[in-house]
Amino acid sequence: MKKGCKYGTHRVIEPKGTFPQAAWKIDNTMNIYDNEILIDVQTLNIDSASFTQIEEHAGGDTGKIKERILEIVAERGKHHNPVTGSGGMLIGKVKEIGSDLAGRTDLKAGDRIATLVSLSLTPLVINEIKEIRPEIDQVDIDGQAILFESGIYARLPDDMTETLALAVLDVAGAPAQTARLVKPGDTVFIVGAGGKSGMLCLHEARKRAGITGKVIGMGHSDASCSRIVRTGLADVVIQGDAANPVEVMNKVSEVTGGKMADITINCVNIPGTEMSSIMATREGGLIYFFSMATSFTAAALGAEGVGKDVTMIIGNGYAKDHAEISLNVLRENAVLRDMFQKLYA
C-alpha cells in the first residue's frame, strides 16, 4: 500500500497545496492508502443548509435532487455543495483498514460507524441512490467512502436505531458547544429551536442555565413552535422570521425587558439571519453561529455597522466528546427521544 498524509492531502487534485475540505476536487478512487479506512456506505445525512439549497434548486423534484447529488460527487470526488460550501456525514460498515493504520486503531472490518468529519472532505463514490428522504435530509446509497487517519468517528450505539443515531450525530457539535458556553443564570436565545440541532441545544441550554436562567426558543412556522412547546424546555416561545432582524429584535426585547440575550445560538438552515442574532444579543454578549448558511462577512460587517460589541463564534462541527454528549441528550430526555424517533428515524 502507498503511504498517505494523515490529513488526506495526497488525495487533493485541484488546487494543489490545499487540504481536502478546501480543495475543489479530490481523488475518490477506492484503492486505499496505508493509513486510510475504506467504508461501505449505507446512508448519507446531507447538511441541512446544503439539502435545502439542492431541494429548492430542484423545485422539490426527487429525481432532480438525485441528479444533483450524483453530479456534485462526480464533479468533485466528494459531496461538497459548491453553493453552501457544506457537506454532511455518513454511516456505514468498515470494509478495509490500511496496513499502517491497522495496529493503531481499535476498529476492525465489519464495525458499523458514523463518520464525524464532513462529506465536504470525504472521498466518496455513489454507485446507486436507493432512497431519498427529503423530510430528514437523508439519502440511502450503495457506495463507498474513505476516512483519513485524522478523521474522527463514532461507533453506532446499541441502544438506538442507526437512523436515529445518525440524525443526532449529524449535528453533534451544536449541543456540545451549547453545554460548553451556557452558564447558570444566562438568558439564552435559540434561533431555529424547533429544528434538529435546535431541540438538542434547548436541552443543554435548559440544563446549563438552570432555574435562575431563561431559555427563549424561536421558530418560524406553527409546526416548529409547536415542537418547541412540546419539549417543555423553553421558558418563552416566540414565532418570527429569522431573516427579519427588526422583528426579532423587538420580540426578544419584549420578553427580556430590554436586556436582550446573554447568549444567542443560531441553528437555522437559511441565509440572511446574521443581523437577527446580533440584534437579539446584549452588548458584550456571545453569539454561536452553528448554521452553515451563515455569512461570516455579513455577521462581522453587520455588527460593525450597528456598533455592537459581541463575541461571535464560528460553528465548529467538532467539540471534545461531542458524539457522546449529543447521544446522551436522548438518553436523558425521554420526550426529546420520542420526538426524534418520530421525526427522524
Q: Give a yes or no: residue 4 inside a domain.
A: no
pLDDT at residue 233, rounded to an integer: 97
Is the pLDDT assigned to residue 143 strictly greater than 90?
Answer: yes
> Could you count the other beta carbons within 10 Å of the beta carbon of residue 27?
17
Q: Give a yes or no: residue 164 inside a domain.
A: no
**Total of domains in the chain:** 2
Q: Give a yes or no: residue 2 inside a domain.
A: no
Q: CB under 8 Å to 56, separation ≥6 — which residues?
A: none
Across the beta sheet with 236-239, the strand order is: 236-239, 214-219, 187-191, 261-266, 281-289, 311-314
Question: What distance lies between CA 32 and its chain's CA centroid?
Answer: 27
Q: Give a yes or no: residue 184 inside a domain.
A: yes
Q: What integer is the mean pLDDT of 35-62?
A: 94
Query: Could you tell me if 332 and 226 lie in one domain?
Result: yes
pLDDT at residue 248, rounded to an integer: 98
Q: Give a yes or no: residue 318 inside a domain.
A: yes
Q: Tell the residue number behind the cell numbers 436582550, with chain if given.
A: 260
pTM of the model: 0.83
Q: Give a yes or no: residue 266 inside a domain.
A: yes
Helix (H) / strand (E) containing 322? helix 322-332
Angle at 288 between CA 301 and CA 226, to 5 degrees: 115
| Residue in 79, 104, 105, 95 with CA at minimum distance from that of residue 20 | 79
Q: Hey, what's the cell of 17?
A: 497545496
Q: Among 87, 122, 156, identify where a domain stops.
A: 156
How far apart, in whole angstroms, are the C-alpha atoms of residue 283 and residue 127?
A: 52
pLDDT at residue 106, rounded to an integer: 86
Task: Summarize pLDDT for 168-202 with one digit per residue, the tens.
Answer: 998 899 999 999 999 999 999 999 999 999 999 99
Q: Give a yes or no: residue 146 inside a domain.
A: yes
Q: Among 122, 156, 190, identify where a domain stops.
A: 156
CATH number at residue 303: 3.40.50.720
Query: Could you tell me if 237 and 113 lie in one domain?
Result: no
Is the pLDDT assigned to residue 308 strictly greater than 90?
Answer: yes
Query: Could you tell me if 123 and 93 lie in one domain?
Result: yes
Average pLDDT of the chain is 94
How far apart, in whole angstroms, are the C-alpha atoms of residue 263 and residue 160?
A: 31
Question: What distance lies between CA 125 and its chain's CA centroid?
Answer: 22
pLDDT at residue 166, rounded to an integer: 86
pLDDT-based confidence at 321, cuts 50/70/90?
Answer: confident
Q: What integer is the mean pLDDT of 21-26?
A: 97
pLDDT at residue 49, rounded to an integer: 86
pLDDT-based confidence at 344, cuts 50/70/90?
Answer: confident
Q: CB under 8 Å to 303, separation ≥6 — which residues?
A: 278, 309, 310, 312
Q: Among 131, 156, 181, identify where a domain stops.
A: 156
Q: Give a yes or no: residue 167 inside a domain.
A: no
Query: Could you tell me if 40 and 144 lie in one domain?
Result: yes
